[in-house]
Structure 1
Amino acid sequence: MADAPTNLTRLLGGTEQSCCKAVAGGTGITVLALQVSKEPNVALFKKALQKLQNDHPVLNYMLHKNNSTSFIINPPLTPDHLPLNIINQLKTTELLMSHGSNATMYPPLHVILEHELNINEWCDHVTSVGGLQLWFANVYTLPDKKWVLVLRLHAGICDRTTAVSLLKELKEAMGAEGGGGGYKEKGNVGIEELIPVEKAKKTIWARGMDMVTYSVKSFTLTNLKFKDAKSARRSEVVRLKMSTQETHMLLTGCELRGIKLCGALVAATLLAAYSSNKQRHTSKNNRKKYGVVFLNDCRAYLQPSLSTHEFGFYHSAISTSHDVKGEENLWELATKIYTTFEKSKNNNRHFSDMTDVNFLVSKAIANPSLTPSSSLRSSLVSAFEDPIIENFSDIDHELGLDDYIGCASTHGIGPSVGLFDTIRDGQLDCACVYPAPLHSREQMEELIAKMKNVLVESFKMEVNA
């Protein structure tokens, strides 16, 4: 990528500034949690973390509050290696038990993931002498010779692509050879500095009209019923999993229609939400409008383009809305939803609307009352344009990797449900993150169950057609 200063203070770009404000409120805390059945080689783990820091300067940077409205990052005066915290079995057990019934309802990996999603060192903007560290590493010791390795990162330096690449590089560095690498970069800059000029153009009139449209449209959107809009919030997770056969049928259905998986997942979410709210549909016109935010990786469209191993936040958001009558076929709605997103992307809305979206997010964070019930909900659902596709490798078996989950918190500003989809060994595993107690676990488990049912029923219709 283009050279970036690795030894100078840098004012964050607009999108990074927005990330900092969102993380402070609880949205964008990225967690990678891996459960292994082989005792981790702590020395090798530390060495692998050090290699990541050496290869990616942004991992050494510290976050500072510049003034009342902006943030800066700068490298420490002397590079410090990331502290690795080892939590013994007794403390891990105490932690699990402190989560009450969740400790018995869900596997330890799930409980620990939720625990980490709600640890927020960045909620207080009071600047410490050396600044705020941007990522953390922990190892939890479970009974029965199992361990959970966790990385927790600030969204300002870690979008979804960065998280995937970081995990890949970490596993390579922890392999038998202790090698990996070849990804060394010089530094990073904000996404705004790399957007082709012609793709970000928008007249003042168009920008003003879009701002008004976004603002007015937000008041017409239907929200999932809020259970508790007053209590302090935290992020919780429900996993949507599908068998190999179900996943194959889902992906085949998408391929036949020339759409991506995100279209089908979002359509299923909207239909499930409509069904959940049907008791509230009292008028003859039962049409409901739902907000959808698509997140797409912009690395390939920047100038110069970036590789997936160049760390930072290089995603953009495209906000759309869709009417649902409850009578739609899944594939009909999925095609409509994906086509709308694709058209917006082809018109460069992911670049031209970036400033508008960041401004509106900042305004909502500063003035929660601008959102329904001060909920800070920006949409019903958010989804990534592309799923993560991977298979268990020799390194995974060597490390004794049993299972893992990667996602980010959403209990500040964000959707009612954020979809983090992975296709692992041909099976869909989607972490669905939601803000609690704004939404209850029972409510979200019911919603996700309806989503899966909508998807499975669509397969049956395909077979019988």
Structure 2
Amino acid sequence: MTERKGRTVGGTECSWCKAARGGTGVAVITLRSSKPPNTHRLQTALHKLQNSHPILRSTLLQHTNTFSFLTSPTPFLQLTTHDLSSNQNNTNDSISLSPLQQILELELNNDSEWRDAKRDSTEMFFGSVYALPNNVWVVALRLHVVACDRTTAVSLLGELLELMEEKEEILSEENDKKVKHEASLAIEDLVPREKTKKALLARGFDMLGYSLNSLRLTNMKFCDTKATRFSQVVRLQLNQDDTKGVLAGCALNGIKVCGVLSAAGLMAAHGSKRGSKKYGIVTLTDCRSTLQSRLSDNFGFYHSAILNSHEMKGGETLWELAKKTYGAFANSKKCNKHFSDMADLNFLMCKAIENPGLTPSSSLRTAIMSVFEDTVIDDSIKKQREVGVEDYMGCASVHGVGPSIAIFDTIRDGSLDCACVYPAPLHSREQMQEVVGKMKAILIDAAKTFKK
């Protein structure tokens, strides 16, 4: 019998373990279909994914304040089914949500397994099938972020679609040769040492700088700082024509989409505020291609963060601001700050979790917005339709520590589609719909110049 394999979590993984207990760090992918999924076929496909990626069949063990992975030799995910076909929109606000978004928000806030500090062992991967009114079915995949950054989520979805296309006899075959038995190393064990070196004095100055600057950053107005928090989502979508204009503007200005999203967010949040204000933007970058040792498995958390502050005076134009915000990030990355400051930001994140009073109004807000350096490009719409997937959304929760808005952007079939996640009731849905609506208007207006 194959023994269980294990390893201690790394520094970045440990910070996410602590964050998930407060509500941040639940990754969810939801897929909508108008026909009932074949649950046996789906579970078989998910088991094959667990066989291929050890971290998906791992449990998280807690020993006081330390955590470790224990990997099972066999897959164990069991799909759960829920019949909500008689329920209407079951949210607490007056705004009607699509079934897809209802389930997304429900799963983002289903963190009981990771919130309970008394548990000494928790699984990393869960799957559910929901039956909803009007012959709608939603498949929800929920993962702990230590097992699933955005690159992992994209790969997981792509591999699942391929498996669902396979013939039944091929899908059900047991292929022990493809079973991997150990989760890949933590990001800290794979970063080139020369890129993480920092003098003790320099580390002290940087830690002090991050701490002091965070107190000077401006936040969006908080609606309710006392009530229990949960994550909600506003969706930002552009049509193909407007998306082409945005992409053309990015190409002409030598920037990525994260720069223009950051700029639009800053302009929408600053709005009619008077005077000069500073805002924090966190940019998450996938480090896989620059790690020293080749990953034995692509699944896990291998992103790092760069925090930049930007001063807004009012009257900025989108493309100039976009070049400024992207330039600040690009310069920081060129200096390897995503590696050299990794331990500092993880430490400060954990300190904020342990001492909410260190943040404005105990809000646990570390920045006004987070974005990803690279946009996901999804051209698999045809393949998705062939297996019955009509729409999907994916993102992670932020109602513990994190930004006021976390943007998960995808370009699907030529159209920009963003899931904008925020902590409620710290911010209200009406407030966030207004901010995201302003962002959309700013993007559409800026795209006009570059439309052909």
**Aligned counterpart in structure 2 of residue 327 of structure 1, from 315, 328, 342:** 315
* Match in the other structure for 2:116: 124
- Per the TM alignment, residue 81 of structure 1 is displaced from its structure 2 partner at its CA by 1.8
Structure 2: gaps (5+ residues)? none
Q: Distance in 2 between matches of 1:17 and 1:392?
A: 34
Deviations 1:55-88 (A, max 9, x none): 1111111111112x21111124x63520100112
* Match in the other structure for 2:74: 79
Q: Distance in 2 between matches of 1:271 and 1:323?
A: 11
Tell me, what secondary structure is at the counterpart of 2:198? coil
2:193 is the alignment partner of 1:202: no
* Match in the other structure for 1:260: 256
Deviations 1:243-286 (A, max 9, x none): 000000001100001100000000000000010xx2x52xxxx1
Q: Distance in 2 between matches of 1:434 and 1:260?
A: 23
Q: Distance in 2 between matches of 1:169 and 1:331?
A: 37
Q: For 1:128-277, what aligned pairs fall within 5 Å after superposition?
A: 128=120, 131-177=121-167, 185=180, 186-275=182-271
2:403 is the alignment partner of 1:408: no
Tell me, what secondary structure is at the counterpart of 1:219? helix
Q: How many correspondences in the alignment?
A: 444
Tell me, what secondary structure is at the counterpart of 1:192? helix
* Match in the other structure for 2:47: 50
- One-letter code aligned to 1:83: Q
Tell me, what secondary structure is at the counterpart of 2:86? helix
Q: Distance in 2 between matches of 1:6 and 1:384?
A: 38
2:436 is the alignment partner of 1:448: yes
Tell me, what secondary structure is at the counterpart of 1:224? coil
2:445 is the alignment partner of 1:457: yes
* Match in the other structure for 2:101: 110
Tell me, what secondary structure is at the counterpart of 2:27? strand
| Pair 437,31 (structure 1): closer, same or farther in 2 beyond 3 Å | same
- One-letter code aligned to 1:12: V
* Match in the other structure for 1:22: 19
2:413 is the alignment partner of 1:436: no
2:372 is the alignment partner of 1:379: no
- One-letter code aligned to 1:119: N
Judge conservation of contact 2:22–2:115 (CA < 8 Å) in 1: yes
Deviations 1:139-179 (A, max 9, x none): 00123332100000001111010011011111111114356
* Match in the other structure for 1:305: 294
Tell me, what secondary structure is at the counterpart of 2:202? helix
Q: Distance in 2 between matches of 1:193 and 1:123?
A: 27
Q: Using structure 1 for the length normalisation, give the TM-score.
A: 0.91
- One-letter code aligned to 1:221: L
- One-letter code aligned to 1:156: V
Tell me, what secondary structure is at the counterpart of 2:119? coil
Judge conservation of contact 1:45–1:174 (CA < 8 Å) in 2: yes
Tell me, what secondary structure is at the counterpart of 2:390? strand
Which deviates the most, 349-358 or 38-47?
A: 38-47
- One-letter code aligned to 1:346: K
2:83 is the alignment partner of 1:93: no
Judge conservation of contact 2:306–2:338 (CA < 8 Å) in 1: yes
- One-letter code aligned to 2:209: T
Q: Distance in 2 between matches of 1:55 and 1:80?
A: 10
Q: Distance in 2 between matches of 1:414 and 1:305?
A: 30
Which deviates the most, 117-126 or 256-265?
A: 117-126
- One-letter code aligned to 2:356: P
**Aligned counterpart in structure 1 of residue 277 of structure 2, from 284, 288, 312:** 288
Q: Distance in 1 between matches of 2:418 and 2:152?
A: 18
Q: For 1:355-374, what aligned pairs fall within 5 Å after superposition?
A: 355-374=343-362
| Pair 177,413 (structure 1): closer, same or farther in 2 beyond 3 Å | same
| Pair 305,346 (structure 1): closer, same or farther in 2 beyond 3 Å | farther
| Pair 443,7 (structure 1): closer, same or farther in 2 beyond 3 Å | same
Which deviates the most, 295-304 or 33-42?
A: 33-42
Q: Distance in 1 between matches of 2:380 and 2:198?
A: 45
- One-letter code aligned to 1:173: L
- One-letter code aligned to 1:436: A
Tell me, what secondary structure is at the counterpart of 2:128? strand
Judge conservation of contact 2:52–2:178 (CA < 8 Å) in 1: yes
| Pair 75,253 (structure 1): closer, same or farther in 2 beyond 3 Å | same
Tell me, what secondary structure is at the counterpart of 1:33? strand
**Aligned counterpart in structure 1 of residue 336 of structure 2, from 312, 329, 348:** 348
Q: Distance in 1 between matches of 2:7 and 2:380?
A: 38
- Per the TM alignment, residue 105 of structure 1 is displaced from its structure 2 partner at its CA by 1.2
- One-letter code aligned to 1:298: C
Percent identity, aligned pairs only, is 50
- Per the TM alignment, residue 101 of structure 1 is displaced from its structure 2 partner at its CA by 4.9
- One-letter code aligned to 1:403: D
Q: Distance in 2 between matches of 1:203 and 1:92?
A: 60
Judge conservation of contact 1:23–1:123 (CA < 8 Å) in 2: yes
Q: Distance in 2 between matches of 1:323 and 1:238?
A: 26
- Per the TM alignment, residue 188 of structure 1 is displaced from its structure 2 partner at its CA by 1.1
Q: Distance in 2 between matches of 1:260 and 1:372?
A: 31
